[in-house]
Amino acid sequence: MTAPATPPPLAGGGRTGADALRPLLDTVLTALRTGAAERGGPLPAGGPDAVTARVTAALGDVLPDRGTGDHEALRTLVHTLAAGAADPAHPLCAAHLHCPPLAVAAAADLAATALNPSLDSWDQAPAASTVEALLTRTLAAEFYGTPRADAVLTTGGTEANQLAVLLAREHHGPHLAVLHGANAHHSIPRAAWLLGLPPATALPTPTGTLDPAALDEALARTPGPALVTATAGTTDAGLIDPLDALADVCARHRATLHVDAAYGGLLALHPHRRATLTGIDRAGSITVDLHKLGWQPVAAGLLAVPDTSRLAPLAHQADYLNADDDTEAGLPDLLGRSLRTTRRPDAFKIAVTLRSLGRDGLAHLVDLTCAAAHRLAELLDAHPRFELHAHPTLTTVLFRPTPADDTHLAALRRTLLHDGTAVLGRATADGRLWLKATLLNPHTTPRDLDTLVTLLEGRTHR
């Protein structure tokens, strides 16, 4: 093989990198548009086998002897990716806590990607490390109301929950008992397993939220130290546990409270909806995801604590990254900000978004999505052929066609996925299976919701 005469251009390098990126971006944006047009709906039609066949045919030889060039590779594969995507920006793609990212956040992420800072040492990320420090302290203060509050960036709620359990174990020791509601995210009991703790105890949540009285009884039977996880925005129904009352119980038993607010945590930035999270500032740690109700590209997770000293167990030293004499000379030590070494500057896109929207702009997006969820719930509640589980707390709506058993309900969801017409989730509540719509698209209109109901009505009553 003959190598190219000159290496391909780099993304960084000041004007040279920008000049190299500009024509490539034109190709990418065109391919995104043509791919979405080919897909036509929220999901590619045909199911897994058809999508695999189309991608395999387009990709061809994954590692060809001779390259096809930048523009052809981007044009072909970006088009294929877009045509085969589950597009969270489509109003009928509403299954998961998978938000459509804001354009400004995606653009900011491009800049961070082009410069490629890594937040494991200051000399790899001088400005990015300062942005992260300022952002994390600002957001942590929003939850705790104290300048000593701090936070670390994570890949999402799972990593943040694992860190919370780790910090609790390091504080209380290896015999820490982990208690959580049956409504909690699966990463909590998994974190106990990963960290070698006793198996976590799941408390029943027949009403969908963790009952303070049930927790009180469980803690009375629990010897030794305990970590209790409450949830602010359950994955199934978007419910919020009674945080203040649970904090009272934990205080009485000297248990540590962790709040998994991956879904609902951004309500803390909302001037009117913050009261929904009353008591969250009493938690020893808080998980938040800004790639849910923060409209960020993945990944954008956060673990907040009331005092930066609580992050001390994460401290780590490696001579080539944070030598003692460098730290003493004033170079910031970044290894204690994560269990990961190489880290993307995920704080940057968040900082750009917050500056762009401000508190009022972010609150407006929350209001739009909550209003859409309430509108859908009202449509379904008034419809004789649908049963609504409950009016939404956040942006999740559970419902089911009537009459339909669980088998037919599951088959209906898969049919919609196979046809590429709608992407809905599934959840079990009250011993029955429900369809789940998670509305995170602030551009969803009443007409979009009418279309969804009409589509489902046609599918279930032929």
- 285-289/301-305 β-pairing: antiparallel
pLDDT at 402: 92
Q: Residue 193 CA to chain centroid, in angstroms?
A: 22
pLDDT at 459: 73
Q: Is 448 helix (H, G, I), strand (E, B) or coil?
A: helix
Question: CA-CA distance, 123 to 12, in Å (whole number)?
Answer: 16
pLDDT at 299: 94
Q: φ, ψ for residue 425 (rounded to 5)?
A: -90, -175
* Nearest alpha-carbon partner for 81 in 38, 111, 47: 38
- Check if the beta carbon of residue 171 is closer than 8 Å to that of residue 163: no
Question: CA-CA distance, 416 to 51, in Å (whole number)?
Answer: 15
DSSP assignment of 211-260:
-HHHHHHHHHT--S-EEEEEEBS-TTT--B--HHHHHHHHHHHTPEEEEE
- At 381, which helix (H) or strand (E)? helix 346-382
Question: CA-CA distance, 40 to 104, in Å (whole number)?
Answer: 24
Residue 214 tokens read as 């049930």
Q: Put the strands of the sheet holding 256-261 in their side by side order.
A: 150-154, 301-305, 285-289, 256-261, 226-231, 177-181, 201-203
pLDDT at 462: 47
pLDDT at 6: 85
Helix 406-419 and helix 446-460, axial crossing angle in degrees, nearest 10: 120
Work out the number of other CB atoms within 10 angstroms of the CB of residue 242.
17
Question: CA-CA distance, 371 to 129, in Å (whole number)?
Answer: 37
What are the pLDDT tens digits along the chain (462 aa)? 556 678 899 998 777 888 999 999 999 999 999 999 999 999 999 999 999 999 999 999 999 999 999 999 999 999 999 999 999 999 999 999 999 999 999 999 999 999 999 999 999 999 999 999 999 999 999 999 999 999 999 999 999 999 999 999 999 999 999 999 999 999 999 999 999 999 999 999 999 999 999 999 999 999 999 999 999 999 999 999 999 999 999 999 999 999 999 999 999 999 999 999 999 999 999 999 999 999 999 999 999 999 999 999 999 999 999 999 999 999 999 999 999 999 999 999 999 999 999 999 999 999 999 999 999 999 999 999 999 999 999 999 999 999 889 999 999 999 999 999 999 999 999 999 999 999 999 999 999 999 999 999 877 654
Question: CA-CA distance, 235 to 239, in Å (whole number)?
Answer: 8
In this prediction the pTM is 0.96
